[in-house]
Chain A
């Protein structure tokens, strides 16, 4: 399969010029939607994703409510214009599955028991897809939750590793994902050292798996750092503005 496209060149660089252990350039913004309780926007290479959080709020329909904790609901959705060929707007099997997967990656991070009988709703909209959208969605949703002021054990950072042309690479893009030999998304809570999502597609040997996991965790830690900076940036900007006003 990988015979058709050359994914790693003779210098050991990838199709978009990255080294194997390099993430795509990441831009994060927090609090972009005024009507949501919390929101975040992430651009990672050519993948662009928006996440919004509403709640904790009163749950409708009422019968779904749990008497001891909040329920977390998550909708991952790809915009019709997010891929080259128009994607019908109805949720596909893949999107429904990813909604569940992302919800389960975030659930261990949130103190749901603090808000019995309520719901916390997450909406993830992929605006432009170029691989790794479930990871970017998870990362953005974690930021949106924190921005909404929902108590959390830790932020969740997610990142994929894979194998293309026999080389382990970090943060796959669309071509590498489709033409490569393996793809493994990992979501991680770095402060707690806990993994909340681990999926794998394709084949890796036992040694490769261990190496790939370590590579993914390193990637998650880098993303975690950017997440923290982005969350603080919203408030630090106001603080600095005030301080410069005082000096002048």
Chain B
């Protein structure tokens, strides 16, 4: 038995379903009752009940593309802030293609404190801090563009179903938009005005993430702003 309709807002502890159901994301089960564990929108899909969180921290997951800031330089790598409760490590072997000599090479000549990087998470579990790599095409130091920060919970909304939203943004604002799963987005466009428009749209999406018909409204907003 369902106690709510799809996409209604639920709070932690609210009884979502009773009976033969599977507890999905952000829910938990006691006996045959399924409760919400986060503030969010409830979704019933067949026998699965899940809650789409409205706010959350970023928990790294292998394969995620993230944007981080170098926080410290060690002898064998860098410590990276990835907007998560856990500090990420970027080892030299995951950053530089050529052999590395500790005595000779200066790590700060590759990446220094304060540099922004686009990276991929290669490993993370409960016992270990996340490991990053930038040895893949397209990854590495960020040299241009502007950064927007949103709640990591809003990222799926910014990408949209089959990337519909992000493609709309790219097309309409003529900007290159790189989305980090950790809630940090890089926008780089032909002029600062283009970037400003894209950032405005992203902030609007984050603000209204829990409403429906958002893609159309964003398209309209961009067209209006462009005049």
Contacts and interface: CB of A to CB of B under 8 A. Distances in A.
Contact of B55 (A38, A58, A238): A38
A41 interface: no
A115 interface: yes
Interface in B170-221: 207-208, 210-211, 213, 217
Contacts of A191: 13-15, 35
A18 interface: no
A149 B53 contact: yes
**How big is the B interface, by class?**
20 to 34
B11 A232 contact: yes
Interface in B57-80: 57, 59
A154 B12 contact: yes
Contacts of B150: none
A57 B56 CA distance: 12
Interface string A138-181: 00000000111111111100000000000000000000000000
A98 interface: no
Interface string B126-150: 1100000000000000000000000
A118 interface: yes
Nearest to A67: B127
Contacts of B223: none
Contact of B12 (A118, A146, A238): A146
Contacts of A153: 12-13, 28, 35, 37
Nearest to A224: B13
A245 to B, nearest CB: 8
B136 to A, nearest CB: 27
A190 to B, nearest CB: 7
Nearest to A115: B85
B39 A147 contact: yes
Contact of B37 (A56, A68, A152): A152
A58 B86 contact: yes
Contacts of A149: 38-39, 53-57, 151, 153
Contacts of A155: 11-13
A191 B158 CA distance: 34
Contact of A146 (B11, B28, B217): B11
Interface in A100-129: 109, 111, 115-118
B39 A242 contact: no
Given A111-B37, A235-B210, A239-B211, A192 B13 contact: yes
A235 B10 CA distance: 11
B3 to A, nearest CB: 11
Nearest to B214: A242
A90 interface: no
Interface in A80-112: 109, 111
A116 B85 CA distance: 10
A152 B57 CA distance: 14
A228 interface: yes
Contacts of A32: none
A73 B54 CA distance: 24
Interface of A: 37-38, 55-58, 67-68, 109, 111, 115-118, 146-155, 189-192, 227-228, 231-232, 235-236, 238-239, 242-243, 246
Interface of B: 9, 11-15, 26, 28, 30, 35, 37-39, 53-57, 59, 85-87, 126-127, 151, 153, 207-208, 210-211, 213, 217
30 contacts: A37-B55, A37-B57, A38-B55, A55-B57, A111-B28, A111-B37, A146-B11, A146-B38, A146-B39, A149-B38, A149-B55, A149-B151, A149-B153, A151-B12, A151-B26, A152-B37, A153-B13, A153-B37, A154-B35, A155-B12, A155-B13, A189-B13, A191-B15, A227-B11, A232-B9, A235-B9, A238-B208, A238-B210, A242-B208, A243-B211
